[in-house]
């Protein structure tokens, strides 16, 4: 049987990947030690996702392995070897704020663990496509240097700018402030590319904007839309941090994202980088997201505004996916931001 090895298998992207690839006939090897509970407390706990996967996927095998532990990972690779047909590396420490306080742990999880997985891929299954969940935070705060215009509910880029249709892979990673999280992910991103371009592995970096969906254990420090909807329904209040709440994010549903992985799996390339997000089709500011929730469930959300922004936080970020679409023209995006929020609302209400 074909095996899909998925790190962070109980996180948003990992669990969506597990469900998707199991339906394609893959045996799922899930690796997740629930570090999100350490990062974010009860809100980040993914135990419920683990139970769901074990219940819904017949051929799901779970390992509580710490991906920083090379020897423990090697036991898994040695067991399955060339039966592994795809590796989806979605495990990470994903928070700006958390990384600043614990930079060694952040670097080991995001950078060292990625190197572990690449070395083991090279050793045991070198023909296997390797999908890495990177982030748009590798660009640091360079997006904030774009010519932005303040509108009533959002920041917007000058329509004459080359990135008006979204930021593509030509944006520089240099001469900017990254945040410690952005820096550790940048190393991982670059080393994934290197194992593709230099060594010849079939690697890909998906530089994600905001990925979301009903499988997301959104927390205050991570999971923009998921946490926003949950906090709005439960508490009827929300804290906006920096930029007057007008900062713009593009939002891609995890199912649309995993379909990108499927296209790459069928026709892999070496060391490719793809900016990956909702694009012009699916984006919103925090204020606009709150308005959608208010209008949908007929409530008034109390808004607390903190003037100081997070270090490295983007004012406006919309992904340009033209490169990926050119390489994989069969991929289709289904979910708009409104459709995503409506689904999240129904999920939290049930």
Beta strands in the chain (DSSP E): 3-7, 27-31, 60-63, 84-89, 130-135, 148-150, 155-157, 203-208, 210-212, 237-241, 248-253, 272-276, 283-285, 302-306, 316-317
Can you tell me the distance from the alpha carbon of 252 to that of 14, in angstroms, rounded to the nearest whole number?
15
Q: Which residues of 298-315 are buried (b: 16+ CB within 10 A; e: fewer)?
A: eeebeeeeeeebbbbbbb
Cα gap 99→107, rounded to integer Å: 8
- In the structure encoding, which two tokens stand for residue 5, read together? 């090895």
Copy the structure tokens of residue 112: 């060292």
The structural domains of the chain, with segments of one domain joined by +, span 3-349
How is residue 180 written in tokens? 């410690």
CATH code, residues 3-349: 3.40.50.720
Share of the chain above pLDDT 90, in %: 82
What pLDDT is recorded for position 220? 59
CA distance 44 to 207: 22
Mean per-residue pLDDT for 286-313?
A: 91
Tens digits of per-residue pLDDT, 138-166? Answer: 999 999 999 999 999 999 999 999 999 99
Is the per-residue pLDDT at 313 higher than 80? Answer: yes
Q: Which tops the pLDDT comparison, 257 or 228?
A: 257
Say which DSSP state 140 is in. T
Question: Which segments of 81-223 does DSSP mark as H helices, in order?
Answer: 96-101, 103-107, 113-124, 180-197
pLDDT in tens, 86-106: 999 999 998 878 888 999 999
Kindly report, residue by residue over 207-244, the tens digit of the pLDDT: 998 999 887 665 555 557 888 898 888 888 899 999 99
Among left, alpha and beta (phi > 0; psi -120 to 50; other), residue 34 is left
Instruction: Kindly report the pTM of this predicted structure.
Output: 0.94
Question: pLDDT value at position 219?
Answer: 57
């Amino acid at each position: 049987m074909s095996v899909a090895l998925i790190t962070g298998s109980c996180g948003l992207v990992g669990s969506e990947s597990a469900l998707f690839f199991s339906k394609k006939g893959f045996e799922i090897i899930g690796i997740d030690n629930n570090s999100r509970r350490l990062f974010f407390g009860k809100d980040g706990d993914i135990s419920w996702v683990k139970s769901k996967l074990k219940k819904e996927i017949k051929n799901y095998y779970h390992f509580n392995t710490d991906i920083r532990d090379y020897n423990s990972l090697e036991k898994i690779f040695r067991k399955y070897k060339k039966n592994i047909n795809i590796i989806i590396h979605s495990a990470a420490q994903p928070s700006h704020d958390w990384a600043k306080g614990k930079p060694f742990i952040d670097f080991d999880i995001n950078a060292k663990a990625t190197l572990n997985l690449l070395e083991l891929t090279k050793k045991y299954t070198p023909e296997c496509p390797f999908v890495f969940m990177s982030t748009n935070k590798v660009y640091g705060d360079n997006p904030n240097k774009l010519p932005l215009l303040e509108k009533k509910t959002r920041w917007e880029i000058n329509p004459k700018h080359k990135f008006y249709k979204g930021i593509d892979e030509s944006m520089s990673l240099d001469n900017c402030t990254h945040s410690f999280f952005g820096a550790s992910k940048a190393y991982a991103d670059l080393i994934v590319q290197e194992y593709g371009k230099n060594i010849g592995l079939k690697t890909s970096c998906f530089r994600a904007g905001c990925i979301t969906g009903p499988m997301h254990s959104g927390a205050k420090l991570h999971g923009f839309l998921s946490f926003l909807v949950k906090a709005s329904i439960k508490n009827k209040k929300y804290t906006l941090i920096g930029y007057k709440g007008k900062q713009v994010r593009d939002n891609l549903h995890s199912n649309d994202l995993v379909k990108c992985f499927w296209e790459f799996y069928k026709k892999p390339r070496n060391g490719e980088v793809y900016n990956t997000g909702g694009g012009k089709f699916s984006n919103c500011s925090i204020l606009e997201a709150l308005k959608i929730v208010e209008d949908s469930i007929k409530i008034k959300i109390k808004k607390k505004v903190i003037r100081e922004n997070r270090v490295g936080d983007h004012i406006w970020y919309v992904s340009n996916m033209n490169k990926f679409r050119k390489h994989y023209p069969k991929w289709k995006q289904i979910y708009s931001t409104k459709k995503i929020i409506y689904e999240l609302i129904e999920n939290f209400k049930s």
